[in-house]
Amino acid sequence: MTNPLKNKNLVYWVARAAWAVSALVIAGCGKPGTPTPELTEPLPTAGLAGQQVIVLPLTMVGAEDSLHWDVVSDRRAVLDRADSVIVALLKARAPEVNWVPPAEVRRAARRAIGIATDPDQMGTAVLRADRLVQVPDPLQSELRTLAAIAGSGGRYALVPAALVYRVRDPRVDSGAGKATAELSMVLVDVRVGRVGWRTVARGTGDDEWTGLTQALKRLTPGLP
């Protein structure tokens, strides 16, 4: 089966591979033991242009205790604000894609009670596993149903699988701020139930939202 995203981004991936090889050579000359996080893979927007892509709500958020950031006691408010930041940045920085935000996905699910699953109760956090390629059931069928209802039969679902805040390690993250936001993002082809793209976007800041904003900007490089 031909993957339209890979075909439309062939030149990009060839260049990316060459860059990665160079980066590995340089990293090999660095100090032993220095952690090297994986590069953030930009959104494959060329293959999504003009399509409706549903954006699932974030369901998993956490922070290291040493940051003293309480993201649990008012978890619903934190998740809602994170969804708002994610959608705002996607629409502003990748307007060529017709993003269907979580609020619209929820409304579509409520209109189809008994057919669609509440997107806030789906096990989308499982997609953060870096080796997972085939989406397991029942999540696979749930995503396909939501895309049909909320995304007018669109093929893709963008899933923010997890958001984790960690104390910034200056050996890894050179940006300013005391914390690093790690946002796991996954693009699922709902027709075949497979992960087509996955990355962990990283951003730094002194508060939750600055870090998340910087992480999202990494998904669309070349813009301010």
**62-76: average pLDDT:** 93
Tens of pLDDT, residue by residue over 168-218, are 999 888 888 999 999 999 999 999 999 999 999 999 999 999 999 999 999
Tens of pLDDT, residue by residue over 29-68, are 444 555 677 889 999 999 999 999 999 999 999 999 999 9
CA gap 154, 131 in Å, rounded: 25
DSSP output for the chain: ---HHHHHTHHHHHHHHHHHHHHHHHHTTS-TT---PPPPPPP-GGGTTT-EEEEPPP--EEE-GGGT---STTHHHHHHHHHHHHHHHHHHH-TTSEEE-HHHHHHHHHHTBTTBPPGGGS-GGGGG-TT--BPPTTHHHHHHHHHHHHSTT-SEEEEEEEEEEEE--TTT--SSSSEEEEEEEEEEETTTTEEEEEEEEEEEESSHHHHHHHHHHTTSTT--
Per-residue pLDDT at 9: 52
Per-residue pLDDT at 175: 81
Q: Are the C-beta atoms of residues 190 and 176 closer than 8 Å to each other?
A: no
Q: Are the C-beta atoms of residues 116 and 109 closer than 8 Å to each other?
A: yes
Beta bridge partners of 183: 163, 201
Whole-model pTM: value is 0.83
Tens of pLDDT, residue by residue over 89-128, are 999 999 999 999 999 999 999 999 899 999 999 999 999 9
Per-residue pLDDT at 104: 97
Among candidate residues 9, 1, 48, the one with its CA nearest the CA of residue 155: 48
**133-138: average pLDDT:** 96
83 pLDDT above the threshold of 90: yes
DSSP state of 45: G
14 pLDDT above the threshold of 50: no
